[in-house]
Amino acid sequence: MARVYVSIGSNIEREQHARAALDELTAHYGSLQCSTIYETAAVGFDGDNFYNLVVGFDTQETPTEVATHLREIEDRNGRVREGARFSARTLDLDLLLYDDLILEEGRLQLPRDEITKHAFVLRPLAEIAGECRHPLIGKTIAQLWSEFPKNDAAIWPVELPR
């Protein structure tokens, strides 16, 4: 079994899509370890704020199978792939870590480089996988978050209404 971590982001009907992602991931993979949900401003474009969180789970699927399943969940939730790379989206699911695997295969990159670039990925990942080591850098995720420039970290916790 591999331990994987996936980021979830949405800024279009974000509560609905975050819940849908959690429901579908739970139905397919079982119990999820979930970070706090964080709200952040859009990065790279002007748009509504995002909800972001990270989940962890165990799977026997290959990295490619997990990535394919994540893409299918995005598609079922109305993800539009045309247009600018940085744009509003119903749902964005990214495979961040797959155990300590280092892989670059087409669009699939492990570990995902966004881990060290964006607070909206690193902070929730540090919350649930702080002891994990970044496979390329060798530092723990908690160390990376402690060293992250907080002036670039416009991120705050939120709760989904029931």
DSSP state for residue 61 in the 8-state scheme: S
Return the pLDDT at 8.
Answer: 97
Domain boundaries, the chain: 2-158
The pLDDT tens digits of the residues spanning 64-120 come to 999 999 999 988 876 665 655 555 678 989 999 999 999 999 889 999 999 999 999
pLDDT for res 75: 82
Pick the CATH number of 2-158 from 3.40.630.30, 3.10.20.30, 2.60.40.10, 3.30.70.560: 3.30.70.560
Q: What is the pLDDT of residues 3-21, one digit of tens each?
A: 999 999 998 889 999 999 9
